[in-house]
Structure formats: structure tokens, C-alpha cells
Chain A
Amino acid sequence: MGILSFFRSSSKSSASVAKERLQIVVAHQRRENQRPDYFLSLQRDLLEVVRRYVTVSDDAVKVEVDHQGDCDILELNIVLPDR
């Protein structure tokens, strides 16, 4: 750690660290709250389907729900293994 970054990190108050951490965790929590009840089983089933074709890790299938006006958009992100 350089001198400058030492000063910078020590001048940041513990309350502002708390606030930043909270903002992140709360944003995450709110996304989770908006997920429909079938969310986890959908994610599990999708992983199962992908695995019929390729070997992927447990976190290879990412599902997010995005709210836009009146409709909810399901966003799928599937990471395939290196070729």
C-alpha cells in the first residue's frame, strides 16, 4: 500500500464505508425481492437442460428479471466452457 492510498483509506470514515456497503447489499436484496416465486426452480431446470449438452459449473446459468414499464423481461446469461 502506497503512502497516498494509506492516507486516503484512513481518511474515509467508517460511516461512509458502512453506507457504501449497504447501498450494494440493499440493491442486491431488492433485485432478489422482485424475483417471481418460480425463480430458483427455473434457474435449476435451465442448468439441467444446458448440462445435457455441455459440462458447465454450477454458476454458469445466470438469470435476472428486469422490470420495464408493464412487462418483466427475463434475462438469461449462459457461460459455456472454453473451446
Chain B
Amino acid sequence: MYTEKVMDHFSNPRNVGEIENPDGVGEVGNASCGDIMKIFLKVENNIIQDVKFKTFGCGAAIATSSMVTELAIGKTLEEALELTNAAVAEALDGLPPAKMHCSNLAADALHEAIKNYKESGQ
């Protein structure tokens, strides 16, 4: 049911972990829906230098988290804000229909982290 790319990112997730003293942190989801994604950012000169994630969730949740970190690194904050959940799913060659809503929140988590960075006044 999952594409090869999803299985690749699920079994070898990129950028797992936390960043010490991150510039921004974003979290979406909750335990009741079964998915929680947390994104940590390092920003320099308006460019995302590093992203790490921690995720509680199904295969799609872990794969989209991993993919969004790859897509975001090196982007400006403006570019990163334009990344959508749909674009993340597309980069994984698609997700099963049932997963498009519940487990496809990685871009939202990234946007939350950027918002947190901006609000913390840096």
C-alpha cells in the first residue's frame, strides 16, 4: 500500500533527532489521532541550515516527517513556508488516500517551527 519511497524514508528516516538550542520548534497533531510530529530548526541568514524531527505515528507520518526535513534544508524561510503537505506527499510518490488527511502533517509542523522562530524575535 505504501510506495517504495515511503518505505525507504520509513525504514531509513533522514534527520531524526533533536537540535540542541534550536532556533525554532514546531509541533502538530495529538495522541488521540495517533500522530504527533515535532520539528526542530537551525536558521542562519534567513536560510534553514538544519532540520531534525521526532515523530510518533504510522509509516506515513514518519516518512513525511523525514521527507519534509530533506525538502526544507537549504531553503529560505519564504520558500519553506510555501511547502505544502500535498507537495511532501508528492515527493514520496503519493500516499494511500486514507493517509492524506490524518498522517500528512509534516509541512504544517515545519510551518509551526518557522512561526515559532519568527515569534521568538530573531
A binds B: no
Residues of chain A having any CB pair with chain B under 8 Å: none
List residues of B whose CB falls within 8 A of some A CB.
none
